Amino acid sequence: MTEAAAGVAQGKPAARIDRGAFCWALFEWARNPWVLLGTIYVFTPYVSNVVIGDAVRGQSIIAGWHATAGAIIAFTAPFLGAAKDRMGRRKPLLAAATAVLAAAIVAKWWALPGDAGLPLWAIGLTVVVSGVSFVYTEVVHNAMLTRAAPPGTLSHVSGLGLALGSIASVLLLVFVLVTIALPGQVALPFIADAPLFGLDPAQHEPSRVVTLICAAWLIVFSIPMFLYTPDLTTTGERFGTALKHGVGNVVRTILKLREYRNVALFLVARMLYADGKTAILIFSGVYASGTMEWNLLEMLAYGIILTIFAIGGGLGRGAARSRRGREAGGGDRNRRDDRLPDRDGVDVANVDFLRARDARRPNLG
């Protein structure tokens, strides 16, 4: 039993979340708003209904973009996971993926109907790039949790990250609603007469500006994690070399899974569940706006209501998991190394598509 677990069993105060762990959770605050504003409730419905101009055709095209991103993720995330395990340090990879994600989000600002902005294929490219890079940030960020969280706090830190991501999303949804969507639409004392920043509704700028807002939010609030969250020490192995050796590790891992039917079934079932939930979340916004003809105001209200429930879910999840661990006498039973135990000869760390397809949130940007 760990010292933290023994302390809990003896009635001592549980370990506190330190600055590094909080900054790890704060990265979810930085990253998650793009999923809600961009992927689900504002930007993607705008692309389907305005840029493409046909709700049915738009849903089909957007599905193809996300399918492409999903295929790239499935075939590359395991190798990324294997490479990062051999390199030790996670932050350089995370910084690169975050920079690519921010750039792809900013590029979406030029998504305009007709020939005024990016061609449709280029918009699709930004969707694929942001989707893949978003999952890469999740793979690497999740791998830092066991190093960032003090003993006995893993579940609380993980749940805090989920809650902070949802809180940030609600705040930005409300901000866009009050300062951009409502001005000029309603006459209330606290609502301005025109959208913030002088945005022009005729150019669809209220829907497009969420790209710039989310990109700036991501950059600013990811900085504390890079400054204060502890990282592993470097092994000195270069990325190319680590990737080369990692490919062999991934292949051997997959071959070993054939010998352990229960593990293989679990991986496949969880991946299918995550993909199904991701599809529902992504297309809920496109369907609501296209089929029921909801506008920006209604989509923002829809997003705010649903996301509020996710805040309680994130906090409750961490508390419930920690309580179950204490009742079982094992402290934080969820605390483990960056890989699952290799007791049966199956190195599950190299099957990193499991983490990449985690159903905690929609993974495609």
Which candidate, 87, 95, 85, places its Cα nearest to that of 136? 95
The whole-number pLDDT of residue 26 equals 96
Domain 17-355: give its CATH architecture: Up-down Bundle (1.20)
d(CA 139, CA 185): 42
pLDDT at 216: 97
Indicate the angle between helix axes 55-87 and 120-143, nearest 10 degrees.
40
Tens of pLDDT, residues 218-240: 999 999 999 999 987 776 777 77
Predicted pLDDT at 334: 44
- Whether residue 28 has pLDDT greater than 90: yes
Tens-digit pLDDT profile for residues 288-321: 888 888 888 888 888 888 888 766 665 666 566 6
Quick one: pLDDT at residue 324? 63
- The per-residue pLDDT for range 111-121, each reduced to its tens digit, is 999 888 899 99
d(CA 335, CA 45): 39
- Domain coordinates in residue numbering, the chain: 17-355
* pTM reported for the whole predicted model: 0.79
With cut-offs at 50, 70 and 90, classify the pLDDT of residue 99.
very high
Residue 353 confidence (pLDDT) above 70: no
Q: What is the reported pLDDT for 322?
A: 59
